[in-house]
A = this chain, B = another copy of it.
Amino acid sequence: MSELSISSDGRDDPAAFRAKVAAGEAGGADTIWIANHLFLRDPAVLGALTLSQTQRLKVALMAISPLTQHPVQIAMAVATLAEQFPGRVKLCLGVGAPADLAAAGIDGAKPLRAMREALQLVRALLSGETVTFQGETFRVDHRRLAPLGAGIPIVLAASGPQMLELAGAEADGVLISAGASVPFVQQTLKSVARGAKGRNIKTSGLVYASVDDDATRANDRVRRILAILLRGAHHRANLDLAGSVLDQAALNAAVIAEDWATAEAMIGDDIVARHAASGTPELLHRRLADYHASGLDEIVIAGVRGCAQIEAILKTPRRNA
């Protein structure tokens, strides 16, 4: 069975975040992936709190962007955390959401080189060796990181083919965004494999999840987040591969107008069935198994509010596993 993990997108308030962490620890989640969306909550701080309140749950900081934090700062934060809680910390690098970068006046147009350099530089620093690095974007001159960071896995959050290949070629793991249909996951992993050339790399995927004895009610909970997500032009191939018929332009207009009735109505049960893991416990179990079979080592459930859903979802796969 694949690993099952949970996530927080930085919108959980303090008490809700602590409740989610406790539900994840209680339910046997492998890792909590804590997001770094600009203007929301900070994952290094939340990761430190998580680790000091649990005994077992791991923490992945995702997706830390070298466009908003210097790789030396990134290495400092993750190594400080791992030194205090050995074996329980992962780093996931990623560019960040284009709209968020734009709102902070940051040019995220051509991130590939910066990302490759950040990956190499952070990895070198975490090794504990004295580092001299001469990149085009980042440089370090003969310095060594003080906190012990050896052994921290570095994962790359990737969606475009070049970033996926970079993950395959140089990272310890890859993280695929939410909303991907099973055929799209398979195509995505082919890009990773092209880069990996036989290297072993761990594959993780964010999957919006919802469970309810009433399948429609389960689906209702994920329609809006799918609407916000799938309107993006870069989801065309994902939709087409899955056979999902969706007027992205109309959906985008409804989302921008905050006309949620229209937007959610466009995300029918067939769309949910292809782009999330939602429904009765049996349906959820089957969907998670499908994602696993498509090549994901770790499924990171996302888009979930409240410990009730966390608890119910973490229970599900063990029913029939």
Contacts and interface: CB of A to CB of B under 8 A. Distances in A.
A83 interface: yes
Interface in A1-42: 10-11, 13-16, 18-23, 25-28, 36, 38-42
Interface in A56-96: 67-70, 72-73, 76-77, 79-81, 83-85
A70 B144 contact: no
B68 A68 contact: no
A215 B104 CA distance: 50
A46 interface: yes
A106 interface: yes
A237 interface: no
4 closest Cβ contacts across the A-B interface? A105-B139, A308-B308, A22-B22, A48-B48
Interface residues of A, number: 69
A174 to B, nearest CB: 24
Interface of A: 10-11, 13-16, 18-23, 25-28, 36, 38-42, 44-49, 52-55, 67-70, 72-73, 76-77, 79-81, 83-85, 102-106, 125, 138-147, 306-312
A49 B11 CA distance: 21
A23 B309 CA distance: 12
A290 B198 CA distance: 60
Contacts of A42: 44, 73, 76-77, 79-81, 147
A16 B28 CA distance: 11
Nearest to A25: B15
Q: How many copies does the complex hold?
A: 4
A18 B21 CA distance: 9
Contacts of A105: 138-141
Given A38-B73, A40-B146, A42-B76, 16 more contacts: A11-B146, A19-B23, A38-B143, A39-B125, A39-B143, A41-B79, A41-B80, A44-B77, A45-B45, A55-B85, A69-B73, A103-B141, A104-B138, A104-B141, A105-B138, A307-B311
A165 to B, nearest CB: 27
A152 B84 CA distance: 26
Contacts of A139: 104-105
Contact of A307 (B15, B22, B69): B22
B48 A142 contact: no
Given A52-B53, A307-B307, A308-B307, A76 B39 contact: yes
A45 B76 CA distance: 9
Nearest to A51: B49
A42 B10 CA distance: 20
A26 B306 CA distance: 9
A258 to B, nearest CB: 15
B308 A312 contact: yes
Contacts of A102: 141
